[in-house]
Structure 1
Amino acid sequence: MSDSNRTDFTNPSTFILLGIPGLEEAHTWISIPFCAMYAIAVLGNFTILFIVKRESSLHGPMFYFLCMLAITDLVLSTSTIPKMLSIFWFNSREISFRACITQMYFVHSFSAMESGILLAMAFDRYVAICHPLRYSTTLTNSAVAKIGLAMVLRSVIVTLPNPFLVRRWPYCRTNIIPHFYCAHIAVVKLACADIRISSYYGLFHLFSVSGMDLFFIAVSYTLILRAIFRLPTKDARLKTFGTCISHLCAISALYIPDFFSSLIQRFGHNVPLHFLILITSVYQLVPPMLHPIIYGVRTKQIRDRLLQLLTHKGT
Structure 2
Amino acid sequence: MSNTTITVTEFVLHCVINADQKSATISILALIYLLSLFGNLLVIAVIVMNSQLHAPMYLYIGTLAVIDLANSSVLIPKMLSVLQLDSSVVPFGACVLQMFVVFHVEEMESLLLLFMAVDRYIAVVYPLRYPSVITNKTVWTAVIALNIFGIISIMPYIFFTAELSFCHSNILKYCFCDYATMVDVAYPKYLIFLAAGCITTGILPMVLILISYCRIALAALKISSVEGKKKVFSTCLTHLLVVGLFYIPLTLSYILPGVGVKLSTESYNTMVIVGNVLPPMMNPLIYSFRNKEIKSNIQRLFTKKHAQNTQENTWIIT
TM-score by length of 1: 0.91
Q: Show the counterpart of 1:272.
A: 264
SS, match of residue 168 in structure 2 = coil
Q: Which moved more, 1:33-42 or 1:243-252?
A: 243-252
Q: CA RMSD in A?
A: 1.9
Q: Show the counterpart of 1:222.
A: 214
AA at the equivalent of 1:114: E
Q: Show the counterpart of 1:161.
A: 156
SS, match of residue 243 in structure 1 = helix
Q: Which structure 2 residues correspond to residues 194-213 of structure 1 after superposition, within 5 A?
A: 194-196=187-189, 198-213=190-205
How far apart, in 1, do the equivalents of 2:24 and 2:215 lie? 47
Number of residue pairs the alignment of both structures matches: 306
Matched, 1:100 2:63: no
Q: Which moved more, 1:125-134 or 1:43-52?
A: 125-134
Matched, 1:31 2:26: yes
Q: Show the counterpart of 1:58.
A: 53
> 2:245–2:274: 8 Å Cα contact kept in structure 1?
no
> 1:7–1:174: 8 Å Cα contact kept in structure 2?
no
How far apart, in 1, do the equivalents of 2:232 and 2:20 lie? 50
AA at the equivalent of 1:127: I
Q: Alpha-carbon deviation of 1:84? A: 0.3
How far apart, in 2, do the equivalents of 1:216 and 1:11 lie? 43
Percent of aligned positions with the same letter in both sequences? Answer: 27
Q: Show the counterpart of 1:79.
A: 74
Match of 2:233 among 222, 234, 241: 241
- Structure 1 residues 24 and 107, CA gap change in structure 2 (3 angstroms): farther
Q: Show the counterpart of 1:139.
A: 134
Deviations 1:126-147 (A, max 9, x none): 1211122222211122211111
Deviations 1:44-84 (A, max 9, x none): 11111000000000000000111111111111111111100
SS, match of residue 11 in structure 2 = strand
SS, match of residue 15 in structure 1 = strand
Deviations 1:234-273 (A, max 9, x none): 333222222222211111111111122223444442x532
Match of 1:250 among 237, 242, 246: 242
Matched, 1:70 2:65: yes
> 2:198–2:255: 8 Å Cα contact kept in structure 1?
no
Q: Show the counterpart of 1:48.
A: 43
Matched, 1:187 2:182: yes
How far apart, in 2, do the equivalents of 1:295 and 1:189 lie? 37
Q: Show the counterpart of 2:314.
A: none
AA at the equivalent of 1:170: S
How far apart, in 2, do the equivalents of 1:210 and 1:232 lie? 35
Q: Which moved more, 1:253-262 or 1:43-52?
A: 253-262
Matched, 1:121 2:116: yes
Match of 2:293 among 258, 277, 301: 301
Deviations 1:19-38 (A, max 9, x none): 2x252553232111111011
Q: Show the counterpart of 1:13.
A: 9
Deviations 1:72-129 (A, max 9, x none): 1111111111100001111111100011111101111110000011011111111211
- Structure 1 residues 93 and 281, CA gap change in structure 2 (3 angstroms): same
SS, match of residue 80 in structure 1 = helix
How far apart, in 2, do the equivalents of 1:305 and 1:14 lie? 47
TM-score by length of 2: 0.91
SS, match of residue 90 in structure 2 = strand
Q: Show the counterpart of 1:261.
A: 253
How far apart, in 2, do the equivalents of 1:8 and 1:67 lie? 49
How far apart, in 2, do the equivalents of 1:93 and 1:37 lie? 21
Matched, 1:284 2:276: yes
